[in-house]
Amino acid sequence: MDMDLSQREWPLVVSFSGLDGSGKTTQIETLRQVIAQQGLSDTLITFWDDVVVAKRYREGFVHKVFGSEQGIGEPGHPVERRDKNVKAGYLTVVRHLLYLADAVHLRIVLSRARNSGAHVIVTDRYLFDELANLPLENRFSALYARLLARIAPRPHLAFLLDADPELARARKPEYPIDFMRQSRRSYFRLSHLLGNITIVPPLALEDAKSVVLACFQQVREQCQKESSFAGVAPAA
């Protein structure tokens, strides 16, 4: 069932995960600009829009049942979200099932994207951002997360953008600070559980960009090298 993309083959798949307000959008825009400058083409997959199954009904449920506010929080204009931070027992069971559906659909979406002719597929969030919502301290949930990570393709380069929860919430005020701290711990637990996730520490913006671009360049060069050995013409 595993569709491992860790072998260096085109197109490269690069994913970005992390807390709300950790800077994913900025890093994605920077990477896409560099990809274009290098003469490569790319396609962007937004996890919540392109992958999540029954998104409309899931959003409608949390708005109607839990009173989750719509919109995106901004400094001075907070939004009170109530969705992944609601930890009712029955919701944990439902999340396990929904995340399985999302993992299967992610596999399909990436398979289609790989036939688009793009050199690089960039994803704004990934299955990892859902798995971090599970109670990973529970042995069953941890094993289940590993199973879903095997069902979904593994990116060539998976970034976890670390961020100080207080600063991240100040940039994007949507969830309580206690939940933000808990989410950060869960992301680290998931990284340890799955491995092969590149953690970008909470650096200054330009320094974080340098880390992301250096990692991408290393993976790109390795891909070109191994493609040449396999008799496949490397990308431009």
Query: Tell me: the pLDDT tens digits for 49-86?
Result: 999 999 999 999 999 999 999 889 999 999 999 999 99
Query: CATH number, domain at 85?
Result: 3.40.50.300
pLDDT of 235 higher than 80 = no
Rounded CA separation 163/160 (Å)? 9
Tokens, residue 135: 């109670």
Rounded CA separation 232/180 (Å)? 45
Domain membership flag for residue 4: no
Provide the residue range defining the domain that includes 213.
12-229
Domain membership flag for residue 3: no
Domain membership flag for residue 130: yes
Tokens, residue 84: 């992944």
Domain membership flag for residue 52: yes
Better-scored residue on pLDDT, 113 or 236: 113
Domain membership flag for residue 1: no
Tokens, residue 141: 């949930």
| pTM of the predicted protein model | 0.92
pLDDT of 190 higher than 90 = yes
Residue 6 DSSP code:
-
Count how many domains the chain has: 1
∠ CA 21-26-30, nearest 5°, is 160
Rounded CA separation 108/149 (Å)? 14
Average pLDDT over all residues of the chain: 92
Q: Which of 34-38, 154-158, 178-182, 222-226 has the lowest mean pLDDT?
A: 222-226
Domain membership flag for residue 38: yes
Domain membership flag for residue 103: yes
Domain membership flag for residue 184: yes
What per-residue confidence (pLDDT) applies to 227? 65
Tell me the mean pLDDT in the region 6-15.
76
